[in-house]
A and B are shown apart, each in its own frame.
Chain A
Amino acid sequence: MSSQEMKEMERRFPEEEYFMSGHLACSGCGATIGMRYALKALGEETIVVIPACCWSMIAGVFPYSSLKVPVYHVAFETAASTATGVKAGLEMKGDATTTVLAWAGDGGTFDIGLQALSGAAERNEDFIYVCYDNEAYMNTGVQRSSATPFLTWTTTTPAHQAKEEAKKNIMEIMAAHRIPYAATASVAYPEDFFNKIKKAKEIKGLKFIHILSTCPTGWRLPTQLSIKAARLAVLTRIFPLYEIAYGEKYTLSVKPEFHPVEEYLKIQGRFSHLTDSEIEVIQENVEKAWVRLVKKAEA
């Protein structure tokens, strides 16, 4: 029998942590993993702008912070506009190296924050905008947002009248702005996300990364399945991983084998009301969207 000796495997990420324990995220929170790797990729010369969202709480309440970088908490819809000002201020102070990272939830990006994001994108402001998407207003108690997927249960779309609208396609919106770099990511693929952040850091202009972040609390699944869910979202092609350069060049990051959407849906309580025919409809929609995406990537 082997001893418990650590084998000398290659370390997959730099050791340094910019995010400390003791924070207030729910057990199993996916959004924590997003921030951890974003900061590993960006390092200490980073300023994070956080609007109202779960992350307003996660890092800690006054007078504490569990992050080792400066953080500015801002009003709900102002992630992109405040980040614009922060970057402008830094430039005028002669600081061209500090990265500005806007870190917003889906509500603060898809809904109330969309205007500011669009404005910043149109002006090609130089910062990285990460939308960590847990697909509802989780911090206020799981109300639907325009990022909530079709037929999902939330407290404002209860099971007998689950969300009727499709998930807003934020990536196509960002593509339409022709920003230099937009990408999707998932907390189950941290190397991919880390590399995308690193890539974004080297580009001037607005970089948008949409990372799917499991919320065991709001998705109603056991905390231990948090990463598995985020992985299945990618494997079932419900949340494909890809990049868009200048709104035109699409590159797939992962080309998964076929996995039926049921694998992803059945482990989450927020989908437990779905009938078989509803699942079929979802499968069809996913397949159509995938085909479209693959075509764009091959073009």
Chain B
Amino acid sequence: MENKITFKRLQDVPSVAISLGTMLWNKTGTWRYLKPKYTIKTPPCNEACPAGNDIEGFMVLVREGKLREAWELIKEENPFPGVCGRVCFHPCEASCNRREYDEALSIQAIERHIADSHLTAKKEKHHSKLRRKEKLAVIGSGPSGLTCAYHLARMGYGVTVFESHSSPGGILRIGIPEYRLPRSTLDHEISGIESLGVEIKTNTCVGKDLPFEDLSKYQAIFIATGAHRSRSLNIEGERLEGVLSGLEFLKRIHIGEKVSLGKRIVVIGGGNGAVDVARSAWRLGAEKIQMVCLESREQMPAFPEEIAGTEAEGIEIFPSTMPLRIMADGGSGKKVEFIKVNLGEAKTDGSLNPIPILGTEFYLEADSVIRAIGEVPDLSFLPQEVSIKKGLIEVGEMGFVHTKGYFAGGDAINPYHTVAGAIGSGKRAALAIHEYLQGGWLKEKFRLIQVGEKGTISMKKYFHPLEGEANPPVVPFKDIKTEYFEHHPRISIPQLSLDDRRGGFREIQPGLKKEEAQEEAGRCFNCGVCNGCDNCWIYCPDMAVKRKKDRYEIDYDYCKGCGICFEECPRSAILFEEEGR
């Protein structure tokens, strides 16, 4: 740094007032009483993702064309981007700050794009070369079980997964139709998990083929058997021939069985399961499909885009309607009596409370009646030390069940059935098991890996803690400087035409092209995370923001604390606080 210049003698003084040095000796940082500081905050999408994806992180990588890095980033948290990128209920999009400016990012489509770009990906990566001696068991190869196995295997543990069906995947394989989730995608991601050394033993039902006690040789057990027992309607005629459960129907289609349903189908239920059934039946050639549910149109729990697809395919929906009885109607035909209802306040156990409207009875004729009103877990195989409440396994923090080393997750513990939720619970349990085995179990550690306040956790934070605050606040929309963003609509993704959908289970939605994904990713605000936009560097009146190779740095010798950088950061990635004393 330059020093001050002093003139001691006459001859030192120049004849004119000419500059002889710079002002760098003048450390204007002493003027400051407020100080800016670079920070990372939590983007709302990351908080909302039950699987714990670093969405903002992969969005940046996609924008830069770095699909490999994006894929690896997702894989740190979630082994199923191809699955989630197709079937998730995308709460990330519902919390995306951009939706308050124009439209939310197409996060799901981008996750899918990343996964689809790696269909030829090689072996998955372990965390480190460490291979541990402990052996662990996972019961159920659904999204929860396989995610738990994946993370444990990456940490170096030996894992064996016991699957009662003939092929792995759980509800992903038998419950979700191929037009939503192609088998190839599922198979690819499962084989990725197997490449880590995870052993999947199919056709092995714990409780039937293998007693639960036999699992005591494993150092820990993760119970993720899901919910596969269809709920009953509890009405007359439920046991007539041609009345089936939706899950049963979908299972049979999956194994390639030719299911003959006849021409007229009535599907009872308003959730995704019912919709999957109805749309699958349409593809199998049913001529008239009618869907009936207790919920009103607005209350239907199925995904809005699925309901839209249902109606586009000509399926009639009868909301606010309750079945009273099923009667045989000559030959294989049936007649179902229905009554219109209003939904009253939910019952104390959370179930729906339909109030019939007298005099609104009507009939629908059908060849097959399929009930798809939800599933519940079958937990009869569990030992008595496992506590069951309201038909679900009772779990403590992080999926802990019992000190014998039992943990649980997925639909077996959660009445709200989501794939992402299941994946999240599998990841949580993997960390819990790891801590349990290594003799840790610090509540503090689990607090430090939270992402926001909705229970999402980050594997990455576990292994690479953040500098500064572990779980910084979520960035609200009001903190985004929308002046720096031009309006740009969300990418629209066309679906297959009706003709192309009919008669087969072709994937209904194509993926994004690379340029489309990049453009869409460019719409991301990058809430709370610096993306190198240069605003702070551009607007600093004192040139006190320096650009280093991979970050910005404030030269506090000169920063006058004006706060312009803080104010003009489009994404609230700078703090501005009183100078520390």
**Residues of A with Cβ closer than 8 Å to B?**
1-9, 11-13, 15, 17, 19-25, 27-30, 32-33, 36, 59-60, 62-66, 71, 190, 216, 222-228, 231, 235
Contact = CB atoms under 8 A, between A and B. Distances in A.
A20 B567 contact: no
B541 A6 contact: no
Interface in B10-45: 14, 17-28, 31-32, 38, 40, 42
B22 A9 contact: no
B549 A223 contact: no
B23 A66 contact: yes
16 contacts: A1-B57, A2-B40, A20-B22, A20-B24, A21-B24, A23-B542, A24-B26, A27-B560, A63-B17, A63-B21, A64-B25, A65-B22, A222-B563, A226-B562, A226-B564, A235-B483
Interface stretch (B331-339, B508-516, B530-538): B530-538
B568 interface: yes
Given A6-B549, A27-B562, A226-B564, A65 B538 contact: no
Nearest to A21: B558
A234 to B, nearest CB: 10
B56 A2 contact: yes
B86 to A, nearest CB: 25
A23 B23 CA distance: 6
B60 A2 contact: yes
B555 interface: yes
Interface string B98-113: 0000000000000000
Given A60-B19, A64-B19, 14 more contacts: A1-B529, A3-B464, A13-B534, A21-B28, A21-B558, A23-B28, A60-B26, A62-B17, A63-B19, A64-B5, A65-B21, A65-B23, A66-B24, A228-B567
Contact of B28 (A6, A22, A216, A231): A22
Contacts of A216: 562
A259 to B, nearest CB: 10
Contacts of A59: 23
From A21, A228, A231, name the one whose CB has the most chain B CB atoms within 10 angstroms.
A21
From B19, B458, B461, B464, name the one whose CB has the most chain A CB atoms within 10 angstroms.
B19
A21 B57 contact: no
B460 interface: yes
B60 A27 contact: no
Given A6-B532, A20-B543, A225 B567 contact: yes
A70 to B, nearest CB: 9
B451 interface: yes
Interface residues of B, number: 63
A223 B42 CA distance: 27
Contact of B64 (A3, A7, A11, A17): A7
Contact of A21 (B19, B543, B563): B543
From A28, A228, A231, name the one whose CB has the most chain B CB atoms within 10 angstroms.
A28
Nearest to A4: B551
A120 to B, nearest CB: 25
A14 to B, nearest CB: 12
B318 interface: no
B46 interface: yes
A78 B447 CA distance: 67
A65 B17 CA distance: 11
Contacts of A66: 22-24
From A13, A23, A24, name the one whose CB has the most chain B CB atoms within 10 angstroms.
A23
A224 B576 contact: yes
A189 to B, nearest CB: 11
B450 to A, nearest CB: 11
Contacts of B529: 1-2
Given A1-B46, A9-B534, A224-B576, A27 B31 contact: yes
Nearest to B466: A1
The 9 closest A-B pairs by CB, nearest first: A224-B563, A22-B23, A28-B562, A65-B19, A21-B558, A27-B560, A223-B562, A2-B57, A22-B26
Contacts of B547: 6, 15
Interface in B135-161: none
B54 A227 contact: no
A296 to B, nearest CB: 26
B550 interface: yes
Contact of B24 (A4, A6, A22): A22
A25 B541 contact: yes
B532 A7 contact: yes
B68 to A, nearest CB: 15
Contacts of A11: 534
A28 B563 contact: yes
Contacts of A224: 562-564, 566-567, 576
B561 interface: yes
B208 interface: no
A29 B541 contact: yes
Nearest to B483: A231
Interface string B231-243: 0000000000000
A215 B64 CA distance: 38
Given A15-B547, A27-B562, A226-B564, A64 B60 contact: no
A99 B564 CA distance: 31
Interface in B502-531: 529-531
B155 to A, nearest CB: 19
A190 B538 contact: yes
Nearest to B57: A2
B552 interface: yes
A60 to B, nearest CB: 4
B541 A64 contact: no
Contacts of B46: 1
A7 B532 CA distance: 5
B463 to A, nearest CB: 12
Interface string B464-477: 10110000000000
B581 interface: no
Contact of A1 (B460, B530, B534): B460
A4 B19 contact: no
Nearest to B549: A6
Contacts of B568: 227-228
Contact of A63 (B18, B28, B534): B18
A20 B23 contact: yes
A16 B106 CA distance: 39
Given A62-B17, A65-B22, A4 B539 contact: no
Contacts of A19: 543
